[in-house]
Amino acid sequence: MLDEKIVIAKHIHKSFGDNEVLKDVSLSVHSGEVVVMIGPSGSGKSTFLRTLNGLETIDKGQVMVNGQLLYDKKVNLNQVRQNIGMVFQHFNLFPNMTILNNVIMAAISTKHFTPEKARQEAKKYLDMVDLSEKMNSYPAQLSGGQKQRVAIARALEMEPKIMLFDEPTSALDPEMVGDVLEVMQQLAQNGMTMIIVTHEMGFAKRVADRVVFFSDGMIQESGTPEEVFDRPASPRTQGFLERVLNV
């Protein structure tokens, strides 16, 4: 199983106007692998992550997820996206729906589940993130940490093959970060394939199979947590780590 590549991104180029944000980025992820991306602000981490589920257009390159080419005219993006869960920095829960409806909306709309089954599954995932008693509340009534856990449950409801996290804890008060990371760690233990952009170095060390250092629109360095954190090869990585670890 571990040899099966679930994400293959090849030679991605992307510019916003004159600003070249991704400069020939390639990355492959095996099924069940947990990849953590670190790097300075503005280096293109979010942009790259978003190219992996078609939220961003690209100028050059190829992305294959779960055996389907994303940037191909014939592909049904909606279909592909059902296999790719995404968790955003600012949660992006739907404020007009209850927690339960946030979780089941997509499953019902895409006919992934019958409404009955969708509710059953939703309860399972809300239990998992320890929020089943908030099922009938609205997002505005939840704390940041609770919101992010709902967002994870919402993504899981679609039974994705891979989960993308874009700085899932950056917008949280410090005391809420732990609960969210715990849920993510549990997911990793259950064998979920995950690509995570984060500044939580401790979490990266504990959970990552591989750490990717992003800088200036390129992957500068990539390896096991020990390799990247303890014996960084590139001076840029060293500089970055010194800055974040000493703050």
Partner 1 sequence: MKFVVKLVSAIIAMVSLAILVPPHKAQAASHYTIGTETTFVPYAIQGKDGTYNGKHPGIDMEILRAIAKNQHFTFDLKIMNFAAIVQALQSGQVDGNMAAMMVTPERQQTLDFSHTYLNAGLSLATKPGSSIKSYKDLKGKIVAVKTGSTSETYATSIQNKYGFTIHHLDSTNTEINDVTTGNADAAIDATLSLQYTIKNGMKLRLIGTQQNVHPVAFAVKKGENAALLQKFNKGLANIKKDGTYAKIMAYYTGAKAHTNANIATDRSYLGIIKANAPQFKAGITMTIKLTIVSIIIATIVGVFIGLFGVVPSRLLKGFHGVYTFIFRSIPVMVLSFFIYMGIPSLIGHKIPLFTAGVATLVLENSAYIASFVAGGIKSVDRGQMEASRSLGVTYLASMRKVIMPQAVRTMAPSFINQFIIALKGTSILSAIGLAEMTQQGTIIISQNMEGFKVWLIITAMYLVLIGCLTLLSDRVQKHYSLAN
Ligand X SMILES: Nc1ncnc2c1ncn2[C@@H]1O[C@H](COP(=O)(O)OP(=O)(O)OP(=O)(O)O)[C@@H](O)[C@H]1O
Contact residues toward ligand X (CB under 6 A) are 16, 19, 21, 41-47
Q: For ligand X, which is the closer residue by CB, 46 or 82?
A: 46
Task: Select the binding partner of residue 43 from ligand X, Mg ion, partner 1, none (C-beta < 5 to 8 A, by kind).
Answer: ligand X
Q: For ligand X, which is the closer residue by CB, 82 or 220?
A: 220
Crossing angle of helices 144-157 and 174-189, in 10° steps, is 20
Sign of CA pseudo-dihedral 183, 184, 189, 192: positive
Between CA 22 and CA 8 the distance in angstroms is 16
Sign of CA pseudo-dihedral 115, 118, 124, 128: negative
Between CA 33 and CA 209 the distance in angstroms is 6
Q: Which of 47, 29, 60 shows the shortest CA–CA distance to 216? A: 47
Candidate list 9, 35, 65, 84; residue touching partner 1; CB under 8 A: 84
Residues 44 to 103: which contact Mg ion by CB under 5 A? 46
Structure tokens at 2: 């571990």
Task: Select the binding partner of residue 60 from Mg ion, ligand X, partner 1, none (C-beta < 5 to 8 A, by kind).
Answer: none
> Is residue 141 within a helix (H) or strand (E), and if so which, with residue range?
none
* 88 contacts partner 1 (rule: CB under 8 A): yes
Closest distance between partner 1 and the C-beta of residue 5, in Å? 22
Residues 149 to 208: which contact partner 1 by CB under 8 A? 151, 154-155, 158
Closest distance between ligand X and the C-beta of residue 247, in Å? 15
The Cβ of residue 73 has, within 10 Å, a number of other Cβ atoms equal to 5
* 86 contacts partner 1 (rule: CB under 8 A): yes
C-alpha distances in angstroms, 153 versus 5, 60, 128, 164?
25, 33, 8, 13
Residues 89 to 148: which contact partner 1 by CB under 8 A? 90, 92-96, 105-106, 109-110, 112, 140
Closest distance between ligand X and the C-beta of residue 230, in Å? 23
Task: Select the binding partner of residue 114 from Mg ion, ligand X, partner 1, none (C-beta < 5 to 8 A, by kind).
Answer: none
Task: Select the binding partner of residue 235 from ligand X, Mg ion, partner 1, none (C-beta < 5 to 8 A, by kind).
Answer: none
The Cβ of residue 147 has, within 10 Å, a number of other Cβ atoms equal to 25
Q: Which of 158, 216, 212, 207 shows the shortest CA–CA distance to 183? A: 207
Q: For Mg ion, which is the closer residue by CB, 50 or 147?
A: 50
Q: For Mg ion, which is the closer residue by CB, 161 or 199?
A: 199
Q: Which of 182, 190, 195 shows the shortest CA–CA distance to 8? A: 195
What is the amino acid identity at position 130?
D
Closest distance between ligand X and the C-beta of residue 194, in Å? 17
Q: For partner 1, which is the closer residue by CB, 68 or 222?
A: 68
* 43 contacts Mg ion (rule: CB under 5 A): no
- Residues making contact with Mg ion (CB under 5 A): 46
